[in-house]
């Protein structure tokens, strides 16, 4: 595996909206510092729902983006889904909470699924895209930064599997709104999921 692209965004207004968003990202050809809050220089405009230490980096696998390109019938430029990093030969469905990605000195840990929002639907110019995204079962992967450092496109990536009971990232999104058994709830909460998601499974 290697790091195929690093994508940064600047604050931009959504069409027809008054607020700004950082979802419009594009690949850059330079080394970038990753600190505890993500890529230095990347825009996070809605701190209530985005960013923070448990959602510092949004990561996509190239195999998942290839699937989306075929599904949507068009090429997808890096950053189309607002992702920060694209990892070669990775299928998002294979990633569990707690899996770690080593990129040089940088260590990222998967924490939760990307939950689709209206901003993504507007970005994709499709009011039904939230339903399409959820049904696809291939959500983006939010990560916390265990160890900061510099990254560059082309850097080797090594995945370290979580050794506890695996809660798949896609499984998290599919569980939203569904009544969980006590066994399922305990399994979810035993994993190192992000703090914004924990209340979803606590009640």
| pLDDT tens across the length of the chain (203 residues) | 999 999 998 877 777 766 778 788 999 999 999 999 999 988 775 666 677 899 999 999 999 999 999 999 999 999 999 999 999 999 999 999 999 999 999 999 999 999 888 888 888 888 899 999 999 999 999 999 999 999 999 999 999 999 999 999 999 999 988 888 999 999 999 999 999 999 988 87
Dihedral over alpha carbons 11, 64, 165, 174 (to 10 degrees)? 80
Domain boundaries, the chain: 3-202
Residue pair 59/83 in contact by the 8 Å Cβ criterion: yes
DSSP the chain: -BEEEEEEE--EEPTT-SSEES--EEE-SS-EEEETTEETT-----TTTS-SGGGSEEEEEHHHHHHHHHHHTS---TTTT--SEEETT--GGG-BTT-EEEETTEEEEEEEEPPP-HHHHHHTT-TTHHHHHHHHT---EEEEEEE-EEE-TT-B-EEE--SS---BHHHHHHHTTSPPPHHHHHHHHHS---TTTHHHHH-
Per-residue confidence (pLDDT) for residue 45, from 0 to 100: 57
Q: What is the CB neighbour count within 10 angstroms for residue 118?
A: 12
Per-residue confidence (pLDDT) for residue 125, from 0 to 100: 83
- pTM of the predicted structure, to 2 decimals: 0.92
Per-residue confidence (pLDDT) for residue 66, from 0 to 100: 97
Strands 106-113 and 141-147: antiparallel
Per-residue confidence (pLDDT) for residue 178, from 0 to 100: 85
Under CATH, what is the fold of the domain 3-202?
A: M1 Pyruvate Kinase; Domain 3 (2.40.33)
Per-residue model confidence as pLDDT tens digits over 78-120: 999 999 999 999 999 999 999 999 999 999 999 999 988 888 8
């Amino acid at each position: 595996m290697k790091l195929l692209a690093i994508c940064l965004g600047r604050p931009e207004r959504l069409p027809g909206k008054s607020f700004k968003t950082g979802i419009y990202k594009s690949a850059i050809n330079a080394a970038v510092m990753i600190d505890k809050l993500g890529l230095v220089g990347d825009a996070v405009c809605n701190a209530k729902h985005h960013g923070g230490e448990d959602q510092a980096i949004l990561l996509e696998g190239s195999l998942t983006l290839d699937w989306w390109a075929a599904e949507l019938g068009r090429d997808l430029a890096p950053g189309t889904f607002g992702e920060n990093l694209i990892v070669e030969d990775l299928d998002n469905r294979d990633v569990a909470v707690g899996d770690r990605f080593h990129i040089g000195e940088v260590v990222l840990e998967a924490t939760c699924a990307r939950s689709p929002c209206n901003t993504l639907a507007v970005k994709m110019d499709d009011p039904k895209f939230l339903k399409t995204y959820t049904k696809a079962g291939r959500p983006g992967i939010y990560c916390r930064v265990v160890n900061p450092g510099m990254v560059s496109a082309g850097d080797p990536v090594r995945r370290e599997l979580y050794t506890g009971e695996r809660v798949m990232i896609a499984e998290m999104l599919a569980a939203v709104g569904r009544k969980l058994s006590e066994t399922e709830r305990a399994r979810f909460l035993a994993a190192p999921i992000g703090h914004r998601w924990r209340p979803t499974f606590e009640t």
